[in-house]
Structure 1
Amino acid sequence: MYRNKINWIIWPLFVLTAVFSAWGFKQTADDNGVLNTVNVFREGAAGFAAASLEMEQAMHNLDAAQPHSVTQARDALRKCRLQYKRIEFFLDYFFFSSSLVYNRPAKTEIDEPYMEYQAPAGLQQMAVLLYDKDPVSHKKALLEEAAVISASATDLPALLYQFHTTDKAIMESIRIELVRLYANGITGYDAPELKSGIAETCQSLQTIQSVLQPWIGTSSPENIPVKNFLTRCIQYLQQHPDFDTFNRLEFLSAYALPLQEQLSKLIVALQLDQHTRSALNYNAKNLFSKDALNPAAFPDSNPATFAMKALGQQLFFEKALSGNNTRSCATCHQPEKYFSDGIKTSIAFDGKSNVRRNAPSLYYAGFQYAQFWDGRAGSLSKQIAQVISNPEEMNGVHAVVISRLRDSVRYQQAFHNAFPEQSLAPSATITMPHLAAAIAAYLYTLAPMSSAMDDYFAGNKQAMTPAQINGFNLFMGKAQCATCHFAPLFNGLTPPFYQFTEFENLGMPANDDLLHPQADKDAGRFEFFPIDFYKRAFKTPTVRNSAMTAPYMHNGVFKDLEKVMEFYNAGGGNGLGMEDPYQTLSPAKLGLNPAEIKDVIAFLHALTDRPVATHD
């Protein structure tokens, strides 16, 4: 009877899609791939609708007296997710709001600045519930989720009514999908409990193969490399399906990144280049290139001249910016310590007490949409202005600081050189906005991407040790590090668009005794946005150069990377037995053995950049 229900649903799907085709599609000579892409979506939507109905039935069958019913429900979820991957690239690019019904992250998300809540929902939330200690106890919630998904899936063809697009848009959607697969898919970001990321990535690439047929169906110098690398990627994924042992470094360097490079060349050759979204630099060679992200997409990203950066560097070490002429930015962000200070929390302005939070490294600081641990500043320049005036940090009065600098002939000339467009006297160019903008321009230069890992991806296969290579694969897979510290900067910039900075509640304790953890009283982002879901949430920093910037976490409570890994391996605070209802980190234990932990730490050392040139 249930199979008849599926047939009853699927037959109208094909009828509807045929009707919508008659209404909406007129392929022109300039858009050779549109109709094919729409047909690929139709077929995928039909498969997803059928799989969602089967999944709904599996949730109906959940029974505590029949343990195999849980296994069947999990298998049905895996199948449904695979079918969803056939249409994900299309929905996320052309109908992003609609896609949120199906694959939203399994945590409450807040749409700032409107403060609209998005509760956990969809396939990811179902995976969390099905892998809870007692999945059957969540049967009602699972049924509700499955019902919403199946009902929405049957209506997917309606999205095509009067739908119009272009070959350029299709190519951009594929560009973005490749980045999603490399940064999220193979890491298991969507459903770490299922460990289905490798199979799902394979399914997505097979869909891309179908979408590209109008351009790679015949052989030409431009498309042969794309066709070959796409086939090799799919074959490699099929031949190495195990999530925990998958060699991500080999897959990326030998197959996936070359595919990305060749696709870019094909797009240029076909004159189908367009850039309507994302902070990605489409002219970069691949996701792990030094220029993979476009600085112009981030705050304070106005083109900076050499004079502006040089001025910013001078100001970074300038003690006249402080209230007593004894402190500079470099006091707490010391270049020789990778722009951190090596202590738990920095010494305050009075020289006796300490500020509340650890001084993080400033490497890659510009590539975020929120500054400070709690994200209260929306740009580097705003952060700089606040730090200068903060009584505990530099205790400088803006007007006094500017007056001091205006008394300096050297700074008059430096500011005038940095901001020559101002038709003002040299001293008049010395303003707090210019001062902050100059330091921000300097901080943007602190993004060298010169680590051993970067050298490896640039072609030097001897740059990383076997332990570091294994550590990379663990970091990007079993250890789940890359599901919060996203490639390529390994910070909270969320792929594939890199237009949002994540905040996470790890359940951090106030002490480093993980057998007797004590609750940390720092409310984090909640102090800036008083929303319960932001309680104890902090910005996800980069782990590049983390081997050089101990101690760790917002409170500096962990003195070494071994303690950090012990904490994560235990499942964060809740995994240790603390009870934080707003912890966003999964409390599930990672199951890493001592050798694996050692290799992850070895990889973190492979993320250490060669120090940038500085002066004081």
Structure 2
Amino acid sequence: MKRKTLLLLALPAFLLISFKASQKSNKQPIGTDLTLEYFVKNTGALAQSTKDLYDAISMLSADTSSVIKARKQLAVSRLHFKSIEFFTEYFFHSETRMYNAAPVFEVEEPTLELVEPMGFQQIEALLYDPEVLHNKQALLLHADALYTSVQDLKSLLYQFEISDEQVLESLRIELIRIMALSLAGYDAPSLKTGIAESGEAMSALQYVLKPYLNQDPPGSKTLVTLLDLAVRSLSASQDFDSFDRMKFLTQIGLPLQKELGILTRKLGLDINSTTHLNHQASHIFSPDAFRNIGLTDDTLKNKDIQNLGKMLFHDKALSGKQVNSCASCHQPQNYFNDNLVKSPSLHAGSVLKRHTPTLLYAGQQHMQFWDGRAATLEDQIKNVIFNPLEMDGNEELLSERIIGSEKYSPLFKAAFPDKNSKETGLSEIAVSLAAYVASLSPMNSPFDRYIAGDKEALSSEQITGFNLFMGKAQCGTCHFLPYFNSLLPPLYDISEVEVLGTPENEDPEHPRKDDDLGRYDLFHIRYYKGAFKTPTVRNASKTAPYMHNGSFQTLNSLMEFYNRGGGTGLGLGITDQTLSPNPLNLTAAEIDHIISFIDSLTDSIAN
């Protein structure tokens, strides 16, 4: 190990020279050299901290102080990691993803390859396990793998080139990561070091931005002030549970995102290598913050297609026997839900397998249905139309009743002018319905008005509830900003599924295990047993009952389920539960505050 270390210590100077040479062909680089120097310096500190972590783990014993010491060293190592996270996640994501991988098995789709838990998060999970000493060998293996990999990190810089545009984009993405993940404790739920880690990442932003800020000192004053406020705010109060996330977001984080975008565009350094982020938007709560989630932006903005979809949504002609429409179950007056445990099927006396979810914000997901079996809204719509239990439609009747009808023919022509009547069919019906459903993202709730600047829109109880939701209650680690669903920041390129251990019934004292296998029915992989898509919390006050089986009638009973640690916490023995089985220890008053916040997510919708 020493021989390897000495060799790597000799590399950075050469790598730095090699890197700088690659910049000579560019026109006056602004901050790339500083960024690399910062990265090299802090990579060395990270390497040393992971060595110290290995040493601390090797000293684990029955003495409680040894466990505490190892946990503290893990916290130190994570801080060093956060100082370069903006760089590794942007430039070396695939090479360094093991550093901070999830502490559970993940399934890579579509290959269905399993990714084992590893890195900082897995070390945290093992260090906080009640049987920590039994985990010592596993901990040593993970710590050694982490140290070895970090030692090799600098070698990735050989003949590697970056641009000012890339540096600024990496910082913009990191800012989203801080606001949506780190502040919520997404990757350090037991350590509860999310505030300190956010401060470290923010300090990195502040340092790397210096040469860019110097390009326009007068125009950068607001940004300089916000960066200083951000670092000081995150340093002054690092207690995870009590940190005022609402104040940080509204007064610092979101304005900072806006100002950073302005500076980037002013310097002519704006690029967008992402698929779904819209860097032209002010911040993540802006109506235009995201793009190309599901349908193309052109389709989403086409009012003729949307209006056609709305008409089709309410038309029973879509169903085989013309007995129901989409609106029969997704009732606009009930927030596109029917408030039933399970909706009746077309077979008399029977119900559908799962609870009917709201369609509000359904377009802001990368998978549809509770088990995620449809990749797009169009696929979901076709599935429902032809499902014999739901609409029992057929393509021939659709062509006769809708495509060829006097009522719809001119509407299809207006919506799809490049298609003649013979080319118009099921795809256009599905796209129209999908465009209408995707438009059901109003974001006009009291919470949204507060974010937009109306400081009278929320009560103090609701603000407290938001801070609990994003902090102590850990709701924000699955229900992500800004839609409070499973769309994963900061790139918003996947929708996550979770194993919660949802029981069949509502009684926490006598829970019964649910036999619905969820995504496992699609892919027979152990870690998908009982896995379901995480729905939005927006409008949840109006869309009871809850969960895939409609087993919880009230938000209070649902919160109690989470407060006890999900199915495992209730004693159901859910083997691969992704929700922490540890109690949240929320008080009755805290639960009331969270429910009050959820109520503030209720939109005003037109029926």
Same-fold status (TM-score > 0.5): yes
Alignment of 1:365-404 (within 5 A): 365-404=362-401
Q: Distance in 2 between matches of 1:297 and 1:354?
A: 31
Q: Work out which of the residue numbers 84, 102, 109 in structure 2 matches 1:112.
A: 109
CA contact (8 A) 1:300 1:379 kept: no
CA contact (8 A) 1:524 1:534 kept: yes
Amino acid in the other structure paired with 2:559: M
Partner residue, 2:39: 41
Q: Work out which of the residue numbers 203, 217, 221 in structure 1 matches 2:218.
A: 221
Q: Work out which of the residue numbers 556, 566, 572 in structure 2 matches 1:578.
A: 572
Q: Measured at CA, do residues 214 and 12 of structure 1 come closer, stay the same or move farther in structure 2, by a change above 3 Å? A: farther
1:376 alignment partner, SS class:
coil
Displacement after TM superposition at 1:238 (Å):
1.0
CA contact (8 A) 2:403 2:425 kept: no
Q: Work out which of the residue numbers 326, 336, 340 in structure 2 matches 1:339.
A: 336
Q: Distance in 1 between matches of 2:212 and 2:305?
A: 46
2:65 counterpart of 1:68: yes
Partner residue, 2:351: 354
Q: Work out which of the residue numbers 10, 13, 16 in structure 2 matches 1:15.
A: 10
Q: Distance in 2 between matches of 1:217 and 1:23?
A: 26
Q: Distance in 1 between matches of 2:295 and 2:414?
A: 22
Q: Work out which of the residue numbers 139, 142, 150 in structure 1 matches 2:139.
A: 142
Partner residue, 2:153: 156
Partner residue, 1:55: 53
Partner residue, 2:299: 303
Amino acid in the other structure paired with 1:88: E
Q: Work out which of the residue numbers 206, 209, 212 in structure 1 matches 2:206.
A: 209
2:430 counterpart of 1:436: yes
Q: Work out which of the residue numbers 233, 238, 248 in structure 1 matches 2:235.
A: 238
Residues 161-185 of structure 1 show CA distances to partners (whole Å, capped at 9, x for unaligned) of 0110100011110010000000001
CA contact (8 A) 1:388 1:398 kept: no
Partner residue, 1:192: 189
Partner residue, 2:246: 249
Give TM-score scaled by structure 2 length.
0.97
Q: Measured at CA, do residues 300 and 536 of structure 1 come closer, stay the same or move farther in structure 2, by a change above 3 Å? A: farther
Displacement after TM superposition at 1:528 (Å):
1.1
Identical columns (%): 43
Partner residue, 1:281: 278
Partner residue, 1:479: 473
Residues 374-421 of structure 1 show CA distances to partners (whole Å, capped at 9, x for unaligned) of 111110011001101101111111222222114520111111111111
RMSD over aligned CA atoms reads: 1.5
1:212 alignment partner, SS class:
helix
Displacement after TM superposition at 1:516 (Å):
1.3
CA contact (8 A) 2:188 2:194 kept: yes
Q: Distance in 2 between matches of 1:280 and 1:234?
A: 25
Q: Distance in 1 between matches of 2:521 and 2:295?
A: 23
Displacement after TM superposition at 1:30 (Å):
3.5
Alignment of 1:72-151 (within 5 A): 72-151=69-148
Unaligned 5+ runs, structure 1: none
Q: Measured at CA, do residues 398 and 218 of structure 1 come closer, stay the same or move farther in structure 2, by a change above 3 Å? A: closer
Q: Distance in 2 between matches of 1:486 and 1:503?
A: 13
2:408 counterpart of 1:414: no
Q: Distance in 2 between matches of 1:90 and 1:172?
A: 10
Displacement after TM superposition at 1:487 (Å):
0.2
Displacement after TM superposition at 1:67 (Å):
1.2
1:409 alignment partner, SS class:
coil
Q: Distance in 1 between matches of 2:295 and 2:125?
A: 35
2:588 counterpart of 1:594: yes
CA contact (8 A) 1:299 1:369 kept: no
Amino acid in the other structure paired with 1:257: L
1:85 alignment partner, SS class:
helix
Q: Work out which of the residue numbers 507, 518, 523 in structure 1 matches 2:512.
A: 518
Displacement after TM superposition at 1:297 (Å):
3.8
Q: Distance in 2 between matches of 1:381 and 1:219?
A: 47
Displacement after TM superposition at 1:365 (Å):
0.6
Displacement after TM superposition at 1:290 (Å):
2.0
2:396 alignment partner, SS class:
helix
Q: Distance in 2 between matches of 1:217 and 1:314?
A: 55
2:563 counterpart of 1:532: no
Partner residue, 1:258: 255
Q: Work out which of the residue numbers 530, 549, 554 in structure 2 matches 1:560.
A: 554
Residues 424-482 of structure 1 show CA distances to partners (whole Å, capped at 9, x for unaligned) of 24xx3541100000000111110110011100010001100111000000001110000
Q: Distance in 2 between matches of 1:234 and 1:541?
A: 33
CA contact (8 A) 1:494 1:501 kept: yes
Partner residue, 1:453: 447
CA contact (8 A) 1:570 1:588 kept: yes
CA contact (8 A) 1:416 1:429 kept: no
Displacement after TM superposition at 1:329 (Å):
0.2
Partner residue, 2:486: 492
Give TM-score scaled by structure 1 length.
0.96
Q: Distance in 2 between matches of 1:582 and 1:346?
A: 29
Q: Distance in 2 between matches of 1:389 and 1:278?
A: 32
Amino acid in the other structure paired with 1:24: F
Q: Distance in 2 between matches of 1:464 and 1:24?
A: 51
CA contact (8 A) 2:299 2:305 kept: no
2:319 counterpart of 1:325: no
Displacement after TM superposition at 1:9 (Å):
7.7
How many residues are treated as equivalent by the alignment? 603
